[in-house]
Structure 1
Amino acid sequence: MAESNKVCPVCEHRTKERTEKEKKDMMNRLSRIEGQVRGIKRMVEENAYCPDILIQVSAVNAALNSFNKVLLADHIRTCVAKDIREGNEETIDELVLVLQKLMK
């Protein structure tokens, strides 16, 4: 698994190199979520019953939460662990900040 502390020359943020399989898996999940959101939009356009829409919104939220869990676990196992091993403890502060934002 290729990790990177490279800095993006455009936005000056850190980047992470992912394997093709990782990218493909993430993109497939996001495409399914995108399809679910389009379905909700269609339901609104077609005046679907509110509880039916709410159930679909709940499903999208669950899918996004699942995506976040997988991404966060990967981030901790790779980027965070690597930085801690290298003595870069600022990563812990960054992780705490991310977790605080996720838990709003």
Structure 2
Amino acid sequence: MDILGDENSLLETNGEHCSPGHNRKSHHSDLMKKNLNTRLNRIEGQIRGIKGMIDKDTYCDDVITQIAATQSALNSVSNLLLEGHMKSCIVDRIQDGDLEVVDELLATMKRLMKK
């Protein structure tokens, strides 16, 4: 795994395989988890900042700009998760002959496109 955390090393899994069923779990590498948590902590800070802007009666357009930036950051997290999901869980399940995962992926992508 790349110490610098390039995109390919982020998408590596912990070596386990995804499986269908009720006990589904992701299998992100420690580096990926750290990256996702860092991004989510930053987004949490952005949300707190937006709440503060509202409390201080900040000009609406400025608040909306910060909301748009926060939504963009969340979309980046979603895209990173989706890419990892497709490169690991989806591929694994298709290789195992589970084609139902394609419908699951389509439903996930439709949810993401509603944004």
TM over 0.5: yes
> For residues 35-50 of structure 1, what are the structure 2 equivalents within 5 Å?
35-50=45-60
Deviation of 1:4 (Å)? 3.6
Structure 1 counterpart of 2:16, one-letter code: E
RMSD of aligned C-alpha atoms? 1.7
Number of aligned residue pairs: give it: 101
Percent identical among aligned pairs is 38
SS of corresponding position for 1:88? coil
The answer on whether the counterparts of 2:18 and 2:93 sit within 8 Å (CA) in structure 1 is: no
Q: Which residue of 1 aligns with 2:103?
A: 93
Q: Secondary structure at the match of 2:98?
A: coil
Contact 1:44/1:53, CA 8 A, preserved across alignment:
yes
Match of 2:90 among 50, 69, 80: 80
User: Counterpart in 2 of 1:28?
Assistant: 38
Letter in structure 2 aligned against 1:66: S
Q: Which runs of 4+ in 1 moved over 4 A?
A: none
CA deviations 1:15-53 (Å, max 9, x no partner) are 112221111111000000110010000000111000000
SS in 2 for 1:56: helix
- State the Cα deviation string for residues 46-72 of structure 1 (Å, max 9, x = none): 110000000000000110111111110
Q: Is contact 2:17-2:88 (8 Å) kept?
A: no
Relative CO higher for 1 or 2, CA cutoff 8 Å, sep ≥ 6? 2
